[in-house]
Amino acid sequence: MTPEPTTAPTPAPARSRSPGPAAHPAPVLSIRGGALRFGPRTLWSGLDLDVHPGEFIAVLGANGTGKTSLLKAMLGEQRLSAGEVLVDGHPAHRGHRGIGYIPQQKIVAPGTPLRGRDLVMLGVNGRRYGPPITSRADREKVDALLAAVGATDYADQPLGSLSGGEQQRLRVAQSLADDPALLLCDEPLMSLDLHHQRGVSELIDARRRDHATAVVFVTHDVNPVLGMVDRVLYLAHGRFTIGAPDEVLRSEVLSQLYGTPVDVFHSHGRIVVVGAPDGDHHHGVVA
């Protein structure tokens, strides 16, 4: 099995519906010749990707195709087997101030003495050492962040009592604490209902429109963000393809990527992939 890309990585096409790349902006994030191998298995190789300010990139693929590892590489927590990751022109490193990170929703441990606003506060001062005294400036910043994501009403409730959607809004606020130029999202809509999926993805979309923040969005289901995505990076079977959604999410492109016949259906504005091997029909519910 040759882990070569089936499609040459294409530069971002200019798209009218989003701010997209300006005339000649420096990319916020660049991957040059990136490869990731675990033992004999190559997850991907020869990956070149430039993410420009205000661009929304969806990373799609089944479990085990290295989506999350790619995100970890951008965070400086996963070494690539080959190639390099540049954030703002410098090698990725842990704790980069210009990166906001939104993880998937998870259960808050019952013994957690934190309220909604404290989750956001950790984004502001969570890595600061010294006596845990919060300044007025920090509190005002948290209030502003809470207001920006519409979480003010439940900010003083115990974290563990909040719904998944409410928690994710708070995590979006937390990720914006340092005014990041790049937002890395790892399945932020996982286990949310449709209503909150829409709410949270619209928050992220609004952020990139208003502040030209680049977004890399790892997801198993592209449908909730289909209208926002500029480009798709589709990982499968040690290969990948990059392009606009309507260039990549097509039967012939995915069939070639998987090396087996795959059908892509469009139904009421949703995309459904049928026939992908190892059951990774990850673009919507397949009956």
In the complex, which residues of this chain contact another protein (CB under 8 A)?
Answer: 75, 77, 94-96, 99, 101, 103, 108-115, 118-119, 122-123, 125-132, 153-154, 157-163, 165-166, 171, 174, 184, 193, 195-196
Pick 75 or 276: Cβ nearer another protein: 75
Q: How far is the CB of 157 from another protein (least distance, A)?
A: 6
In one-letter notation, the amino acid at residue 160 is G
Q: How far is the CB of 252 from another protein (least distance, A)?
A: 38
Contacts of 165 (CB under 8 A, 6+ apart): 192, 193, 195, 196, 199, 200
How big is the CA angle at 198 (ends 196 and 202), to the nearest 5 degrees?
115
Q: How far is the CB of 56 from another protein (least distance, A)?
A: 20
Pick 110 or 279: Cβ nearer another protein: 110
Pick 9 or 98: Cβ nearer another protein: 98
Q: How far is the CB of 256 from another protein (least distance, A)?
A: 35
202 burial type by CB count under 10 A (0-12 exposed, 13-18 middle, 19+ buried): middle
Pick 21 or 188: Cβ nearer another protein: 188
Three-state secondary structure call for residue 8: coil
Contacts of 58 (CB under 8 A, 6+ apart): 217, 218, 219, 222, 225, 229, 231, 232, 233, 245
Which residue pairs from 263-268 have beta carbons closer than 8 angstroms and sit at least 24 positions apart in sequence?
none
How big is the CA angle at 219 (ends 122 and 94), to the nearest 5 degrees?
40
Q: How far is the CB of 265 from another protein (least distance, A)?
A: 28
End-to-end CA separation in angstroms for the chain: 31
Pick 116 or 238: Cβ nearer another protein: 116
Pick 117 or 282: Cβ nearer another protein: 117
Q: Which residues of 29-43 are buried (b: 16+ CB within 10 A; e: fewer)?
A: bbbeebbbbeeeebb
Q: How far is the CB of 63 from another protein (least distance, A)?
A: 17
